[in-house]
Each structure stands twice: as C-alpha cells, then as structure tokens.
Structure 1
Amino acid sequence: MLNVAYFSNQFATAQGHGITRYAHEMYRGLRKCDDLAIRPVAAWSSLSPERLSALQAETGLELVRLGRRLTPLAWHYLDTPTLERLIGGPVDVVHAVSLGYAIATRKPYVVTVHDLGPLTHPEYFTNTKPWIMEKSLRQAEARADAIVCVSQSTADEVEGYLGGHVADRIRVIREGVSPEFFASGDMACLARLDLPPDDVPVILTAGKISPRKNVQGVLRALRQVQDKIDHHLVLVGGAGWETEAVLKELDDGTLMNRVHLLDYVTDAQLRALYRRASAYIHPSLYEGFGLTVLEAMASGVPVITSNTSSLPEVAGDAGLLVDPGNDAEIAQAICSICTDTALREAKIAEGLARARLFSWDNYSRELRDVFWDVGR
C-alpha cells in the first residue's frame, strides 16, 4: 500500500469548477486504486463549518496546523516544517495537485501543472502573484520526481520555460470528463436563472470574464450574425477583470437584450445549461486544457473552440476550430453551427465519440502508475 498525501487547497473550497473539479475527480478516481491510500490535505478551507465537517468525514481531509497565512510563508522562506510532519502518519509520496505554492517535503514529490499562464501570458491574468507560481515551478524543477502536465501543450510550455533537462520527468496525462455529463440534466434547477424563454435557442460559454476567455470577440462576432440567427448568448462564471469592458461592448443596446450574464452556477445547473444550449462556444486565447469543451461534447452540444494552445488536443476534429483573433471567422462558425442542421448533428455525434476517449478513471490509473514509479 502506497500512502499519498494529496495536497490541494482547491479540494476544500466552496466553488466546484476548474482545478476544484480536477481535485475532486482525481480523488474519486484514485480511491478506486486498491493499492493506494489517498489523504487529502489543505492549508485552509472556504467551506462553511458544516460542509467542511461533512467533507472531512467523507474523505479524511486534513488541514495543516499552520493555517492559511503561515503555511505558505514557512514553506517559501524556511522550507519547513514538512508536510508529512504537519499531518503525521505514514506518507510515502506527496502530490501537489496544482502549482499553488512551494511545499516543504522530503518525500518523493509529484506536481501537476495545469498551465503556466501567469508566467507566460501575464496579459491574460490579474490578481495573481506570478512569483508564487515561479517559486513553486522552480521547486518542481529542483525536487519533483515527476511533473504531470494535463496536455502536451502545457508539457511543451513547461519544458520551454525550464529547459530540456526536465523532459524525462514530464508525464502528459490528459484530463477526463465525468459520466454525469453524458446523462440527462435536471432542467428544473434552471428555473431561477436569468434565461430566455424555453423556445428561444441559446449559445453557451463558460468561465469568468477575462481577456483570455475572449468574450469580447464572441460579442463582436455575434453582432455580425445577429440578423441571421435567433439565438441568445448565455455567459456563465461570473464577473472577472474584463467585465467592465464587456458591459461597454453591450452599451449600444443592439445585443443587450440577447446576452445573459450569469454568476457562478452549481454543477447541476451547469450540466442542465449544456443540455439547454444549441451550441457551446469557447474561442479562448489560452488554455492549459479546456475541460468545458469536453463537458459540452459529452452533453451532446456542438462546440466552437480555438485552434490554439491545448484546445485542438481536446476537441480534435469533433470541434469547429477557429482563429480566436478573427471575429469574422468566429461569426461564420456561429452562423454555420446554428443554421446548418446536418453540420450540427455531425458535430454532436463526433463530440460524443470524442468525449468518450477522455476518462477520469483512466487518468487516475495513469497517475497511480506515476506514484508507484516515484515511490517504490
């Protein structure tokens, strides 16, 4: 039995998308490996006391004794006390589920890298501390026995940033999609959301409003085809640092009544929104993986996404790939997928087949092999 300390602050946070979803999906998958003992660990939690207690009872989550403020300071400046000492009990391997901050450990060490955006594309990120990611990445360079990357695009980025000497420690394991997205959603959970009437078709896009999500490009493209389609646009994920610019884009009134800005939604609502949508659009300028593309495909929604970064790896030929910097190309893709029934049905079928190639269970088994490789 291999004892794995599974460090993830996102595992203990309140909102469940992005790396939080990854952390929980991985935990569930790894728990199925009968030769692993997985111990979730976090420095802090944003859950209510009731939800935190329930999560701890269900998973054995441990919060390190130093807490939210002292933990990163002690690990960054002193490289002590070690994670294994703070939680006690047997630890054979430490897994950092993301590049949060450097972790003090003397055990075999595995780090998952989702992307290097704040370091390589700072223009797309704000309210981040690149020096923290830099420190964590450099620690991985110096100490990690394996660097797990969620796409080949991210792997190339890591090797390009750190140098070829880390190539033999990089493992590419692509993310999966939960079986729940293949099942019918509970549409009743959408009742309280600001959505158009059921007979109005919608295009969905998900993610906090930020420059890399290219929401302004979507709006400009939609304006070009607004007289050719009846669809409304639904944006899920809440306000980000580009919200003001997006609202300004809507100021002229021509799109205002056809755009619905939703905040954070529950997992059940997200699954239902995919089912409600006629198309999913994700012309992001930069992604480490792009999990929502897979989720949409699994939900039976045709997908328009970018031909850059990791997104072609995820979508393959099943997605309608566009240049995210070309508004006219995005507009043409929107018009095609919304008006060409044969194309739409073909992309739905191809998307479902594509999504079935990505499994969290397969991901977990590959990650399990990495743990045993470094922890023997």
Structure 2
Amino acid sequence: MKADVIVYVHDIISASRSFPLTPQGIISRFITGRYLEYLENADHILAASELTKDQIIEKTNYDGKMDVVYQGVDNLPHKSSEKRDIDLFYVGSLADHKRPAFIRELFSEAVEKGYNVAHVTESDMKGKTYREVSEAKLAELYSRSRYYIHPSRIEGFGRCPLEAQRYGATPMAFENSINEEILGESYVKIKSVNDALENLESERNHDLISRGIRNSERFKWSKTRNELKDVLTSDSM
C-alpha cells in the first residue's frame, strides 16, 4: 500500500528570486527547481499561510489537496517585566527579503538619537548584539521591548512579530500581504526610517498593545496539533 506524501511548506520565497550566473547561483536555481517538482508530486500540502498557499498555486502545477495550518507561537516561557528599557528590538537574519539596508540605517539613526536598541543577529549593527540566546533570554528581551521592527518584504509566516506581541511589544512593519494576514490591524504601519523613528518618539498606543496580545493568542501550538491530527486522520481513512 502506497503511503500518502504530506508536505508542510513554510515558504517558497526562493522561487521568486533571480539567481546570478555563478556556480552557487546555478546550484541554488537547480535545488529550487527540484524542490518545486517535489511539491507537485505531493498528495497533500499544508501551507504555513494563505500567502504561501497562493504562491504554491502561482509557482507550481500542483492540483492536489492543500490546506493552511498556522504555527503556534506560545512555546517560549512566560515572562513579564516591569521595565520597557529596550526601545527597539529585532530578531533574525539580514537576508535580502528582510530589507537589511533599512534595518542597519534605522538602528544607526536610533542609536545616534539616544535610543536603546538590541538585536539577535549574526551581523554587527549598532546597538546591543546578542549572537545566541536561550528561549528564556529571548522571552526576557521581548518583554523589555517597546517596539519590534519587522521590515520584511515577504515572509512565509512571520513568527517573531507575533512572539513580540505575546510579550506586549508593538511590531512596526511595512504593509504587505503576509502582515495583513497574520498581524491584521494590530501593528504600526511604516513606510520609511523616519516613520519608525517618529513612533519611537511617541507614547505607545495602549489599545494597539492589547490588540497585539489578543492577536498573538490566535496562534497556539495546541490548535496546530489538532489541525495536523485532523489532516493525518482524514488522509489515512
């Protein structure tokens, strides 16, 4: 009896990239092409978001079953802090789709203006740098932050701004499809470095903080497990 192939897809961002005509670029293009072929042969695809689902439809010839199963963001330990001494926080890489030039410029100008900024990255930027942190430390950093910067052009899901919301930090982000889907009306929309700096200068909107916390509560691992169980059970019948 042939087993069904069920694939969980976080994103296919690489399918939209233009690869350079270098040995590494050619290899990356080949791997991406093979991955998309693999998806087309799946019996059932689970996408991390509606955006990822739409991209799969656009970039492949897949015509089988496909559902969206959101991830949970409630795995970090509970942490509360009376102080919000980090004005701006960022977690992640500086890959091209994250707008690295924007992040560097924002952090540089924020430091020059006297703001306390911190980031968990593998890159040297202005502000306090953390290379590796435990889950407990990450929860602490979120709980001490006023704003979380999320300037990505595209994401398959967008975990970090949701984690930030869970600890009472307010995401600032560009308006795009994935942010509208995942964050809705619970984030500060920006278009430039100046927009972000102006928000740092003002008091945070308490209604927006509450909306952020409620929004993050939509994404629980217990819900993810139940939805995965339902899919696996229905596909095995």
Using the alignment, how far apart are the partners of 1:200 and 1:370 within structure 2? 44
Determine if the alignment matches structure 1 residue 281 to structure 2 residue 176: no
Using the alignment, how far apart are the partners of 2:53 and 2:12 within structure 1? 10
Using the TM superposition, give the Cα deviation of residue 231 of structure 1 relative to its aligned residue in structure 2, in angstroms.
Answer: 1.5
Do 1:304 and 1:321's aligned partners in 2 also have CA atoms closer than 8 Å? yes
Using the alignment, how far apart are the partners of 2:134 and 2:230 within structure 1? 33
| Partner residue, 2:4 | 108
After TM superposition, where is structure 1 displaced by more than 4 Å over at least 4 residues in a row?
A: 222-227
Render the CA deviation track for 1:169-201: whole Å, top value 9, x for unaligned. Answer: 1111122211545x21599xxxxxxxxxx8953
Determine if the alignment matches structure 1 residue 291 to structure 2 residue 159: yes
Do 2:105 and 2:193's aligned partners in 1 also have CA atoms closer than 8 Å? no
Do 1:146 and 1:370's aligned partners in 2 also have CA atoms closer than 8 Å? no
Structure ranking higher on relative contact order (CA contacts 8 Å, 6+ apart): 2
Determine if the alignment matches structure 1 residue 365 to structure 2 residue 226: yes
Do 1:297 and 1:355's aligned partners in 2 also have CA atoms closer than 8 Å? yes
Determine if the alignment matches structure 1 residue 140 to structure 2 residue 39: yes
Q: Secondary structure at the match of 2:30?
A: helix
Structure 1 residues 179 and 113 mapped into 2: Cα distance closer, same or farther (>3 Å)? closer
Counterpart residue identity of residue 196, structure 2: A
- Please give the TM-score of this superposition, normalised by the length of structure 2: 0.85
Determine if the alignment matches structure 1 residue 341 to structure 2 residue 203: yes
Using the TM superposition, give the Cα deviation of residue 234 of structure 1 relative to its aligned residue in structure 2, in angstroms.
Answer: 1.4
Superposition RMSD in Å: 2.8
Determine if the alignment matches structure 1 residue 355 to structure 2 residue 223: no
Using the alignment, how far apart are the partners of 2:105 and 2:81 within structure 1? 32
- Please give the TM-score of this superposition, normalised by the length of structure 1: 0.55
Using the TM superposition, give the Cα deviation of residue 138 of structure 1 relative to its aligned residue in structure 2, in angstroms.
Answer: 1.2
| Partner residue, 1:129 | 28
Determine if the alignment matches structure 1 residue 162 to structure 2 residue 57: no
Q: Which structure is larger by alpha-carbon Rg, 1 or 2?
A: 1
Render the CA deviation track for 1:328-375: whole Å, top value 9, x for unaligned. Answer: x34213422x233252x2221110011111111111111111112221
Using the alignment, how far apart are the partners of 2:15 and 2:195 within structure 1? 33
**Where in structure 2 are the equivalents of 1:1-376 lying within 5 Å?**
106-122=2-18, 129-142=28-41, 144-163=42-61, 165-166=62-63, 168-178=64-74, 180=76, 183-184=78-79, 201-222=86-107, 230-239=114-123, 256=126, 259-323=127-191, 329-336=192-199, 338-343=200-205, 345-376=206-237
Do 1:281 and 1:303's aligned partners in 2 also have CA atoms closer than 8 Å? yes
Counterpart residue identity of residue 310, structure 1: I
Using the TM superposition, give the Cα deviation of residue 279 of structure 1 relative to its aligned residue in structure 2, in angstroms.
Answer: 1.0
Counterpart residue identity of residue 161, structure 1: K
Do 2:111 and 2:117's aligned partners in 1 also have CA atoms closer than 8 Å? no
Gaps of 5+ in 1: 1-91, 93-105, 188-197, 240-246, 251-255, 324-328
Q: Percent identity?
A: 22
Structure 1 residues 169 and 322 mapped into 2: Cα distance closer, same or farther (>3 Å)? farther
Q: Secondary structure at the match of 1:202?
A: strand
Counterpart residue identity of residue 100, structure 2: V
**Residue correspondences, number:** 232
Using the TM superposition, give the Cα deviation of residue 306 of structure 1 relative to its aligned residue in structure 2, in angstroms.
Answer: 2.5
